[in-house]
Each structure stands twice: as C-alpha cells, then as structure tokens.
Amino acid sequence: MSILSILEPANATTATRQAVTRLTTGSIPATVGADLLVPLADGRVTDYANFDHGASAPCLESVRRAVEAALPSYASVHRGNGYASRITTQWYERARAEVHSFVGAREDDQVIFTRQTTDALNLLAKALPAAATVIVFESEHHAALLPWPAERTVRLPAPSTSTGAVTAVADALRQAPEGPRLVVVTGASNVTGEIFPLAELAAVARAHGARICLDAAQLAPHREVDITELDVDWVALSGHKLYAPYGAGALIGRADWLNAAEPYLYGGGATASVTADATVWNEGPSRHEGGSPNVIGAIALAAACAAISQHREAIEQHERSLLARLRTGLAQIDGVTTYDIFGADADRVGTVCFTVAGISSTLTSAALSAEYGIGVRDGKFCAHPLVGHLLQDSPEHGTAVRASLGLGTTREHIDRLVAAVRTLATKGLSRHYEESAHGCQPADDPRDLEAPQIW
C-alpha cells in the first residue's frame, strides 16, 4: 500500500499531494527538529547533535503530515456509521496492513497494536500456555528480560560469540522440560548495537520444537525485518524508535497462543457478547485491544513503516557510513574504551557504547551537552546485567555512555562528537559540574533549561 493512501484525505488538493511527495521522496526521510538550536554554557548557540536515537527517535516529517491529515476526521473506530468513524476505521485497518507488510508477516499472522515493545512483550507473556518454558539471554533489554514467569524462565549468560549464542540456546532447549518452549532474543543490542544471529537461532528453535520471539525495537529502524524469511514466530517493535513518537507499538505473529489466552485488557472491543451469565471474547487482534485504541499512534506507526520501507537502502548506506566514521574516530583516542558483546568485527546498527578514562559517564554526557550541544545517553540503558558484564573489567566505571545515531545525524555531528570526546579524554573537564535530582550541569550554568509552557 502506498503511503499516499494513508497521508492523503479523499479530497486532497494538488498542493497537498505535492507536499506529501516532497516529504516521502529523496534519499533520506526528513525528521522534525532537524534545525533545533540549543544553548551552550559559554553563551553560544549551536544546532543539536542528537545521538540518542536508541532511546527515542525524532518524528519523521511524513509521519507528522500523516497525523495532520488524519486529525480533522479523527473519530472512534469500528461499529460507527458516521462518515468520520468510517474513514478513521479504514485508516486504522490500513495501518495494521502496513505494519504487517513492513515486517514481512505471514498471511495469517496477527498485528496487535500496543503501546510499545514493552507492552507487546508483556502481552505475549500473558498469552504463554501453561507450563511454557522461556529461554532468554541476560543481555536483553529489561522489556524482553523481565515479563516471563520467573519459575519457568531460563536466563542464559551474555554470549561472547554468535556461535556461542546459538550453542547456548541449543543446549538450553535440549535440557528444557517437555511442553511449549519460547526463545526470546533481541535483534540488535540496545547497548552495543550488535546484531544477533537471528536466522540461526530460529533454526535451532525449530529443530527443538520451540518458538521464537524477536525484540526488534532496535533493529527495525535500521535494518529490514522479515518474519517469513527469518522464520520467527513473533516480532515486537515500538513506534517511538521508528520515528513515530505517538504512543503505539505492535506485536506481530502467530495467532494460536494469542487466541487461546485471556484478553490482555478486559473491556469494550474485546468482547463478542456479554450477558448476565457469560462473556464471549473476540478472536483476532481485537481480543487484546480492549478499549478505544490509539488510532493516531497506529497511523503514525504505519506512515513511518511506509517511509522507512521506501528508503531502506539509502537509510542503511547513510548509517553504515556514519557508524564507520564514528567508530574509527573513537578508536583513535587514548583513554576511550568501546564495548562489544561479540567483538569489534560484529555486524551492528548505529550504536556505540564507550567510557572515558577518569571521567564518569554522567559527567561525560553532561559536558557533551553543555559545551558541545551533543545529546547522548548515560547509565545502564535498561540492560543492567549486560552493562555489568561489559564493564566488569573496568572497575572505574559502573555505567557507560551510549551514542546512537539515525536519520537526524550528519557527518558534522559525528566529527563534533569525536572532537569533543578527544578533548575530554586529553584535557579533562573544563568546568565544574554539579549533580542534582534534576541532572548534572555546570555549576555556573547560564542556560535556561526550564521547558516553556506549550499549551
């Protein structure tokens, strides 16, 4: 389905069509806020270098346009005969079809709209058959590590090689009790960006009669995800990491466990009939989409999926080039250590995890922001076991810095980050910083960091 069918209302003008075309063609999709200016502690102003795409990516211009096109006729979906409800229902179900296509889902796979990846994986956890065993690496994001029943979950140590990951899962499946079994694996690490051997892990799961769920939150924005080709059973993803920050995500995959489970949310939409004596629940996506759904979020997610699919090759080339430049630059700085699960040569998306000798990750991120207009993430990235594993030989550091690039990143941003880290590593901090409940910033910070009232 063309993105234009989602973006354009039925009576779209020529000017509207031209605007939509401008936003959805070209080598790299444009992002909202690409011209954002931020204040520095020395009084200057600079354009913002966003290296926090791994937490939440900026909105695509085409996504914003889709939302703006949908809002005038926004209404509740399903069972409404009014014009606005009929139009909105069509957009909502087209959005479901767009997400289905985006991940190469099988014809009978369901697309259930959720809040984000965390919500999707919790939904699947609630749908597990009785006595199901779950196998998961401790290197997972907490969203994929924590939802499963503790007494029936096997946590594997963080692997050190791709081959070792496959072997560990095979061994765990051989030792697992009979009955339903589920392997849960990330597509790309949210800490290091490294890509796991997904096809090989799926093959191992199949060989042992197990199912496999892919956490694609960090992978889908950067690389193609194809359920059919990978032969995985479910994929979970988030709109806010896919340049659609409107509160929607999705769980896509096989229907049987989901149709057999109790509804994730009890309420309207999930029910086929309700009487004084019994409740009959729907099957299909509506079973787990109780309540009025986030229609605008679904439309935004679909618009992002369409734009990324259209520009996939250009996006990958753009990000591979920038990542290589960033990794080469950081590798040449004495005192900077980067961290990997599988090693320096592993395939990865645009994320780098590093520390600077003599400076904590909190101070590093604060200095990059205050003095250079660079936004990174510091901490343990909702992956505490993995960060602890990676930093076990770095007693100086309990946390790390993560730089994650994306569509809003330029070569100048890369060079600015490398130069800033080099200055910090060789000369140290140029200002005194203070930590508070509100964060870390220069003691004499002249910047106005209060958010303006926007409503």
Contact 51, 403 (CB under 8 A): yes
Angle at the Cα of 423 (from 419 to 424), degrees rounded to 5? 120
User: pTM value?
Assistant: 0.92
Mean pLDDT, residues 17-28: 48
Mean pLDDT, residues 437-441: 86
Helix (H, G, I), strand (E, B) or coil at 49: strand
Say how far apart CA 122 and CA 128 lie, in whole Å.
10
Mean pLDDT of the chain: 93
Quick check: 108 pLDDT over 90?
yes
Neighbours of 411 (CB within 10 A): 11
- Which residue carries 């063309």 as its tokens? 2
Angle at the Cα of 170 (from 169 to 175), degrees rounded to 5? 95
Cite the active site residues. Answer: 382
The structure tokens listed for 208 are 């042992």
Residue 18 binned pLDDT confidence (cut-offs 50, 70, 90): very low
The structure tokens listed for 150 are 């503790």
Quick check: 14 pLDDT over 80?
no
Neighbours of 390 (CB within 10 A): 25
Contact 354, 337 (CB under 8 A): yes
Position 79 scores a pLDDT of 83
Say how far apart CA 199 and CA 214 lie, in whole Å.
11
Mean pLDDT, residues 388-408: 96
Quick check: 15 pLDDT over 90?
no
Position 437 scores a pLDDT of 79
User: Please, where are the H alpha helices in 279-393?
Assistant: 295-310, 312-331, 361-372, 384-390
Angle at the Cα of 147 (from 303 to 305), degrees rounded to 5? 10
Quick check: 1 pLDDT over 50?
no
Position 206 scores a pLDDT of 97
Query: What percentage of the chain has pLDDT greater than the value 90?
Result: 91
Position 24 scores a pLDDT of 39
Position 17 scores a pLDDT of 37
Contact partners, residue 384, CB within 8 Å, separation at least 6: 142
Residue 21 binned pLDDT confidence (cut-offs 50, 70, 90): very low
Write the single-letter amino acid at 43.
G
**pLDDT tens for residues 119-173?**
999 999 999 999 999 999 999 999 999 999 999 999 999 999 999 999 999 999 9
**pLDDT tens for residues 261-317?**
999 999 999 999 999 999 999 999 999 999 999 999 999 999 999 999 999 999 999
**pLDDT tens for residues 321-339?**
999 999 999 999 999 999 9
Say how far apart CA 145 and CA 422 lie, in whole Å.
35
Contact partners, residue 99, CB within 8 Å, separation at least 6: 111, 250, 252, 298, 301, 302, 305
Position 80 scores a pLDDT of 85
Position 239 scores a pLDDT of 98
Write the single-letter amino acid at 129.
P
